[in-house]
């Protein structure tokens, strides 16, 4: 079976320097999209998760609606709405926003950011609400106010509890980024599509990209496992 798999890459003309550079360019675009969307989404989701735990419905309800919409609809539909829908807004083409939205990269980034922010908000909200009551009462007994309790007690513990679920969200975002190619972005999947169209070699093109995604996924799993082992070391029994 391994020999059959390797035989797919026997034709070196498919993997010549120009094609490999095309794959590399797609790889860089994919990493940029995923990294920026996760970074910005994380920054947005943290305050939203804190506000999501509020008992005030005027604070809680709009965030719930945002999360409900972006978790309840496909990412591809969200991408189409932002990429094609913004162009239909009257007068937007005469504003500075059009300089940004006219390039496919930025509408795609906005869709990814909003989507991952919604999922991450729910992950952090659950982790915050899972804080043991005893820790909160102990912090109150020490005279900590709400802001200090959140900063010193609740958020550090919530980050540890949220890490496994957040690792899954990072991997999901990496895989979901492959839809960027439907709006003309040449990411890894877009590069594979170009190579397939040029050489009519679907197996070689897409299996090569699948192998790259697989390597990236296992690398992320390894990194998160090491981070989890480090921050949860105090919970493991001494040998």
The span from the CA of 167 to the CA of 225, in Å, is 9
Q: How far is CA 194 from CA 22, 48, 103, 166, 181, in A?
A: 9, 40, 20, 33, 10
Q: Which residue has the tokens 């082992």?
A: 229
Question: pLDDT digits over 160-173, tens only?
Answer: 899 999 999 999 99
Share of the chain above pLDDT 90, in %: 56
Distance between CA atoms of residues 163 and 225, nearest Å: 9
Residues 6 or more apart whose Cβ sits within 8 Å of residue 38: 116, 170, 173
Q: What local confidence, expressed as pLDDT, does residue 24 receive? A: 94
For 57-66, 184-193, 227-236, which range has the lowest pLDDT when averaged over its residues?
Answer: 227-236
Tell me what percent of the residues of the chain surpass a pLDDT of 70: 91
Q: Within 10 Å of residue 185's Cβ, how many Cβ atoms? A: 22
pTM above 0.85, yes or no: yes
- Domain boundaries defined on the chain: 22-230
- 90-131 residue pLDDT tens: 777 778 777 778 888 999 999 999 999 999 999 999 999 998
pLDDT at 201 over 70: yes
The helix (H) or strand (E) run that includes residue 42 is: helix 17-52
Average pLDDT of every residue of the chain: 87
3-state secondary structure of 143: coil
- The CATH architecture annotation of domain 22-230 reads Orthogonal Bundle (1.10)
Give the range with max mean pLDDT: 22-36, 140-154, 196-210.
22-36
Supply angle C-alpha 159, 163, 169, rounded to 5: 120
pLDDT > 80? residue 67: yes
């Amino acid at each position: 079976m391994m020999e059959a798999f390797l035989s797919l890459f026997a034709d070196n003309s498919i993997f010549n320097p120009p094609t490999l550079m095309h794959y590399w360019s797609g790889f860089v675009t994919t990493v940029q999209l995923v990294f920026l969307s996760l970074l910005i989404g994380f920054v947005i989701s943290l305050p939203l998760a804190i506000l999501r735990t509020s008992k005030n419905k005027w604070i809680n309800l709009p965030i719930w609606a945002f999360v409900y919409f972006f978790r309840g609809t496909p990412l591809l539909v969200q991408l189409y709405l932002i990429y094609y829908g913004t162009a239909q807004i009257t007068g937007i083409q005469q504003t500075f926003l059009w300089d940004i939205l006219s390039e496919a990269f930025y509408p795609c980034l906005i869709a990814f950011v909003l989507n991952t922010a919604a999922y991450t908000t729910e992950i952090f909200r659950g982790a915050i609400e899972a804080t043991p009551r005893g820790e909160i009462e102990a912090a109150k007994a020490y005279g900590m106010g709400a802001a200090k309790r959140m900063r010193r007690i609740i958020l550090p513990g919530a980050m540890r509890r949220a890490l496994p679920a957040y690792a899954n969200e990072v991997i999901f975002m990496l895989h979901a980024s492959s839809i960027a190619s439907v709006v003309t972005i040449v990411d890894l999947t877009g590069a594979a599509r170009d190579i397939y169209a040029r050489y009519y070699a679907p197996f070689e093109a897409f299996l090569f990209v699948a192998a790259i995604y697989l390597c990236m996924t296992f690398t992320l799993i390894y990194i998160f496992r090491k981070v989890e082992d480090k921050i949860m070391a105090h919970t493991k029994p001494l040998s």
